Structure 1
Amino acid sequence: MKVILVLVSLLSGIQGFLTDTSGGQREHYAMYVWRTGFDPNVPGCDQTDFLEWDSKHSHCFTHTWDSPERRQWLWATCNVPGREISRIFLADVHHKLKSGFQTNNCNMNDIALLKTTLTEGHTKVTNLKIFALFAASDPEVSERHMVPYVVWYNDNCADTTQEKFDGVAVNNEAYAAIKCSSDLSQRTTHLDRLQEIHDGAQRQRHGKLLTHFSISWHWGRCNGQSQPFLWRGKSLDATHHMIDIFDSIDVQVGYTTFPQISTRMSQAGMDYASLQHKDIYVTFYTDKTEPCQITFFPQVCQWTGRSESNLFAIIDQFPSNGLGHVEPCIHYFRGVYSSGGHPDWPAHS
């Protein structure tokens, strides 16, 4: 019996169960982690700089995960009790992976940094999945050429499962320009290129590399109506085709209140994703952007409730608004979520 208990304890430590800060069931939020975020620890960067949030204040933005202190800030944010994050989309990995891939060198400093970051995340946050985030956002869907970098790294450089990326996430906005194109080949070619992302991930030799894609709720619609078209034997609108391609999807609903959130999730294919057993997320913006109804940023606006507490209140209304099987996705870490740049947006560090 003692031997069994020791083994269970060791396995729990390896899998990160000892970091369960919620005292019970953890949430499963997702979160974007872009390269930089607002940092009130920079001398002179106060609430005024935060609210202006523009290029004049770029010195107030620092890398989100390049030091032990900043990574601890990230892991603490993932472990906020009752608001736990189980999936992050991690930016600024493209060139680090590309350099190693092109020289077939696993001993570079950038690769060592990735190993450290991935190991920390997997050990300090229970069951965390870390996705390499690519965002070329061009019509060529250049992200499909970046997937081999992750496959190479996982198969050649990662010495343990904890050092591996769990998936590849893509944020490509180019489809918006062709969603109503009368030239159907533009749309089907775009889908073919997206399919290459998923197919490329399957070339990993050891373990499964997941794929994730971010869509706008209206990409399958023209003039307010669903626009199905035939692609690879199925007649569906674009967002439904995209759900078929990827393992998971997050939907940019472009709204912060109900019933619009529910309506747009439905139009994007929420129920279809559930039938296909695909994870689907509602993406909420917290950074400063326009129009004001799409973000929780505390800017001058006719809309009230621009705070972290209001964001959480909306998330807590998911079950009563038909989103009980959907998870939230926060866009993004320290932008402004967990930044500490404003009393309504505390740092979870």
Structure 2
Amino acid sequence: KTSKRQLNLMVTSPTISHFIYFHSGFDKDKCDVYEKSKYECFHHMWNTTESRANLWSACQVEGREIDRIFLSKVKYRIERADSGNCDVIILDTLQEAHDRNIKIYALFATSNANFSEKNHVIDAVKFNQHCGNETAKFDGVAVNNEYFTSIKKPCIENRAMHLQLLDNLELTRTNAYPLPLHFSVGWHWGWCSVSGNDPLEMEWGGHTRNALQHMFNIADSVDVQVSHTKSSEMIYRTQKADYQYWVNTQKGKTDTAAYYVLAYCNPAVSCKYSFSPHIIGSSTPTDTCSAGYNDRTEAGMWNRFDCIGNALPYARGGIHFIGGVYSTGIIDTWPKYFAPPKTSSPSSAPSIKPSMFSSGPSSAPSSVPSTTPSFEPTKQLSTEPSTEPSSNPTSNPSSNPSLNPSKMSPSSCIDDKDFKFNGKSCTTDKFKKKYCKQWDKKMGKLVKNYCKASCEFCKEKKWCKDEKRVLMIYGKEYKCKKVKKKQCNMKDDLGRLVLEFCRKKCSYCDRN
């Protein structure tokens, strides 16, 4: 499995809900082919007003409206909310989504044996408590932990691990309260084999059911990864994924209960798994599918959802994911949705950004003095003295403007007041420079990333750069250029967070 999404597919209600799995979307203007390893081919999907405006347009296509987004890459933006660190971009995104009746779930996808998501969801609850309000808050949490796939077989011998995962999922729901929990599952998780003839049953919580049924009873909503593009196969796999059990036991249980069927639109290893116009490794935007699945278009994807909706009326469709390649314009049959052009009528509120400079002086003096000096000196001396002396005498100006920008001001290079290493704050007299290159093994954090001022680690070129040393992951040495994006949120064998070590590769600066 890969990542996620969702949409509402009932024939009577074409609303869809999908989630954004990556914070970066494919940029056709920079690359012809979707190549995940090339960072320059992608852009952030929701960190600016303009990018969010395009996102909302992609969610409001007439007849194919999207009403639920699972937003990824939020963990490091919200984890310090209880210290008063309220991310403005997150708040703006939540507010703008709610203005359009779109629900936002915080997505966590560590996929490890420890089920770290059970702790991560707490951050979304705290963010709502300390930073949110009635119109800018998370509506739920979504978890994509695929560890079950690796432990499903052998079915009998791994029973203890199966039960532990269910315990962790239950704890995740408890920790997420009062937010509803969404969980992503594989279509075959209720069976020992993909043939679907040998149910993976176990006793848990006083009841004997298959693994999927237990998961359905824990989560408020689910999406099922059917990993196919043929409508008949998608319907078959949905039915094998206990669709009818969900309808009988979970439908209507809450206002947010939902059963989603997932369609991939990012490149996969086989053309039958994804609606992307090319597979992984293709050198061209389109390729031929030898398996015969050549209707790999946006219209083809919607057609499959309509077929599923006709056969299984309570199953909703899910897109995996915006930006890959939905709403990218990679080819004509995958159009990009832009925000409508701004009108020429004046807004009802003052703009946040200043307007462009005029080409000449105004015809009348302003009623208040300007806040910045003019570019040219006045041609005549003032006849009146200034009303207030300057706070400091000026030194002689330089004869030429400087060619390089000045260094970062001290106020923008500060220590994290909440960070402590060995019980010592960055600003205490007991803090030593030798700590700067050390790691907090419990949290996996590199000290100089948090004690920027004390460690003189202020230049963006430095702290947005990968470390030159090697990581140890499962006993194997990695340099940052070899690290995979999915490894960024894990710790290496020495307890170091990969994203704090490989800051450029893992887009650490975009998160902070």
TM-score range, shorter chain: 0.7 to 0.9
- Indicate if the aligned counterparts of 2:264 and 2:319 stay in contact, CA closer than 8 A: yes
Q: Which residue identity is paired with 1:243?
A: F
- Indicate if the aligned counterparts of 1:252 and 1:283 stay in contact, CA closer than 8 A: yes
Partner of 1:118: 94
Greater CA drift, 258-267 or 282-291 = 258-267
Does 1:97 pair with 2:70?
no
- Indicate if the aligned counterparts of 2:74 and 2:107 stay in contact, CA closer than 8 A: yes
Partner of 2:460: none
Partner of 2:228: 255
Partner of 1:29: 16
More helix per residue: 1 or 2? 1
User: Aligned-pair distance for 1:339?
Assistant: 1.0
User: Aligned-pair distance for 1:99?
Assistant: 3.0
User: Aligned-pair distance for 1:26?
Assistant: 5.6
- Indicate if the aligned counterparts of 1:37 and 1:334 stay in contact, CA closer than 8 A: yes
List runs of 5+ in structure 2 lacking aligned partners: 1-11, 252-256, 279-286, 339-512
Does 1:186 pair with 2:161?
yes
Choose the corresponding residue for 1:49, options 29, 33, 46: 33
Does 1:343 pair with 2:343?
no
Equivalent position SS for 1:327: strand
Q: Which residue identity is paired with 1:36?
A: S
Greater CA drift, 307-316 or 222-231 = 222-231
Q: Distance in 2 between matches of 1:271 and 1:129?
A: 26
CA deviation string 1:220-277 (max 9, x = no partner): 1113322111111111111111111100000000111132111111111111111222
User: Aligned-pair distance for 1:180?
Assistant: 2.2
CA deviation string 1:159-181 (max 9, x = no partner): x2211100000111100011123
Q: Distance in 2 between matches of 1:292 and 1:174?
A: 25
List runs of 5+ in structure 1 lacking aligned partners: 1-24, 203-207
Highest RCO, 1 vs 2 (Cα 8 Å, sep ≥ 6): 1
- Indicate if the aligned counterparts of 1:27 and 1:86 stay in contact, CA closer than 8 A: no
Partner of 2:123: 149
Q: Which residue identity is paired with 2:70?
A: F
- Indicate if the aligned counterparts of 2:84 and 2:130 stay in contact, CA closer than 8 A: no
Q: Distance in 1 between matches of 2:304 and 2:114?
A: 36
Partner of 2:378: none
Q: Distance in 1 between matches of 2:168 and 2:199?
A: 22
Partner of 1:323: 312
Identity across matched positions, percent: 34
Pairs aligned (count):
304
Q: Which residue identity is paired with 2:272?
A: Q
TM-score by length of 1: 0.84
Map residues 1-349 of structure 1 onto 2, 5 A cutoff: 27-33=14-20, 34-41=22-29, 45-46=30-31, 48-50=32-34, 53-55=35-37, 57-101=38-82, 104-106=83-85, 108=86, 111-123=87-99, 125-126=100-101, 128-158=102-132, 160-181=133-154, 182-202=157-177, 208-223=178-193, 224=195, 225-275=198-248, 276-277=250-251, 278-299=257-278, 300=287, 301-302=289-290, 303-320=293-310, 322-349=311-338
Partner of 1:21: none
List structure 1 segments (4+ residues) > 2 angstroms apart after TM superposition. 25-28
CA deviation string 1:36-74 (max 9, x = no partner): 110234xxx24x334xx242x320101110011110111
Residues 177 and 343 of structure 1: CA distance in aligned 2, closer, same or farther (over 3 Å): same
Q: Distance in 2 between matches of 1:49 and 1:268?
A: 33
Q: Which residue identity is paired with 1:96?
A: R
Equivalent position SS for 1:86: strand
- CA RMSD across the alignment: 1.5
Equivalent position SS for 2:69: strand
Q: Which residue identity is paired with 2:190?
A: G
- Indicate if the aligned counterparts of 1:217 and 1:264 stay in contact, CA closer than 8 A: yes
